[in-house]
Amino acid sequence: MSSRTAKILENITTGLGATKLNPSVRRVSLIYAIQGKTECMGAKYFYRENLPRVKYANPEVEFVVNKSKDATITPTLTIEFALQSALTRHSLDCYSGRDQKSIGGSADAV
């Protein structure tokens, strides 16, 4: 293994985000604006720095990232859990820090 490959592998397996998620987590969705909002900087940082590690450590979890050109989009991180037959969603409005929860429903419920 080359030195460069070893460094990349070490970087993706250690550090923030290199942790195994709860087995009940089924999907993680991130929505943010790619232009015009400084409020999205945290979401952009998470996408660049932490998400690759989380994805590597959790290959069974579906990760969805929606980048919008609409500058009015509020950055949102949604974590969906499968508990028995119901789908539970937790969304965190990255700008205000408000936590929203819903149980059941369609993908548009949150």
What's 26's domain CATH number? 3.40.30
CA distance 93 to 77: 7
Q: Is residue 110 part of a domain?
A: no
Q: Is residue 109 part of a domain?
A: no
Q: Is residue 75 part of a domain?
A: yes
Q: Which pLDDT tens digit goes with each residue over 36-92?
A: 767 778 888 889 989 999 999 999 999 999 999 888 888 888 888 887 555 566 666
Output the pLDDT for position 16: 82
Per-residue confidence at 30, pLDDT binned at 50, 70, 90?
very high
- Residue 25 carries which side chain, given as an amino acid letter? V
State the total domains in the chain.
Answer: 1
Q: Is residue 28 part of a domain?
A: yes
**pTM: predicted TM-score of the whole model, two decimal places:** 0.71
CA distance 11 to 53: 8
Q: Is residue 108 part of a domain?
A: no
Domain span at residue 43 reads 3-103
